[in-house]
Amino acid sequence: MKKIAIATDSNSGLTQKAAEELGVFVLPMPFFINDRLCMEGLTIRHADFFRLQHEGAKISTSQPAPQDVMDFWDKILADYETILYIPMSSALSSSCATVLALSRDYGGRVVVIDSTRISVTQKQAVLDAKCMADRGASVEEIQQMLLDFDHEAIIYVTVDNLKYLKEGGRITPTVASMGTLLNIKPVLLIDGGVLDVYSKCRGLKAARKKMIEAIRNDISERFHCNDLKSLNLHAACCLSTEDALAWKQTLEESFQAPCSLDRLPLSLATHVGFGACGVALTRKVDR
């Protein structure tokens, strides 16, 4: 029997195919489209999601049924001694508290870590944990690393359409109407699992510039670095392939450093819609 399995949920942005290639496990997160249950990465494609969202479908996020979580874990535990499970931040969803409660019935064989992350930063935590597991680190060592680095990450996201922030209750209808009229694009900040408005800009170009300025400031002021040698740069988007690659290139040229590129998970896409793009930093772990 293998020793440690690294598992997460699809809020990390990891697809089932990518997870299989990496040797990790991903629990698909549920959501409802016009009251129909969908599972991210299993029963609906991203292109179909955005088409339905554009057509005005009623979309809401949810959390996995307890039995689905336990079935997911039980299947993994048939081949592994222990699961280290890294869910979406507890500050953004109650699913973390649910899986933590469920794990207590597994006698220590399932260890849930609230990394206070989502999307590309959550994915990076999974990659770091997997790397440590592969080199023979113990569950306790991996757990301590994740806790030590949980706040060593930050995400900025801007949106092209305020409609979905309004529908999700993030902004009022009045603010959405005025923002649309004035071409205001908010820059959202996800820090320690908490989502907030960082800035408001006139136009998408200005919003993207603001995110780059914020990242440049974070490199020195938050992470106390002179460059990106000890940091990972990430791009995350709900864009066409061409536009996503262009955003990635812009970031690489701005910081003279390599940049990963991922799609935003549907849990975030529900609130930000197609056209959203983001940038993130995580501190590199000595693995």
Q: How far apart are CA 20 and CA 55, in angstroms?
A: 33
What 8-state DSSP symbol labels residue 29? Answer: P
Among the residue ranges 42-56, 137-151, 185-199, the one predicted with the least confidence is: 185-199
Angle between helix 139-148 and 119-134 (nearest 10): 150
Average pLDDT on 246-273 reads: 95
Residue 1 has pLDDT above 80, yes or no: no
Instruction: Say what the pLDDT of residue 165 is.
Output: 78
Report whether pLDDT(114) > 70.
yes
What is the pTM (predicted TM-score) of this model?
Answer: 0.93
260: which strand partners? Answer: 234
- Distances 272 to 68, 113, 238, 245, 286 between C-alpha atoms, Å: 27, 26, 9, 19, 34
* Cα(74)–Cα(243) distance, integer angstroms: 40
How far apart, in Å, do the first and last CA atoms of the chain sit?
Answer: 24
User: Which pLDDT score, from 0 to 100, does residue 163 have?
Assistant: 81
**CB neighbours of 163 closer than 8 A, spacing ≥ 6?**
176, 273
Give me the chain's average pLDDT, please: 91
What band does 28 get if pLDDT is binned at 50, 70 and 90?
A: very high
pLDDT digits over 147-187, tens only?
999 889 999 999 998 887 777 666 666 566 666 766 789 89
Residue 245 has a pLDDT of 97
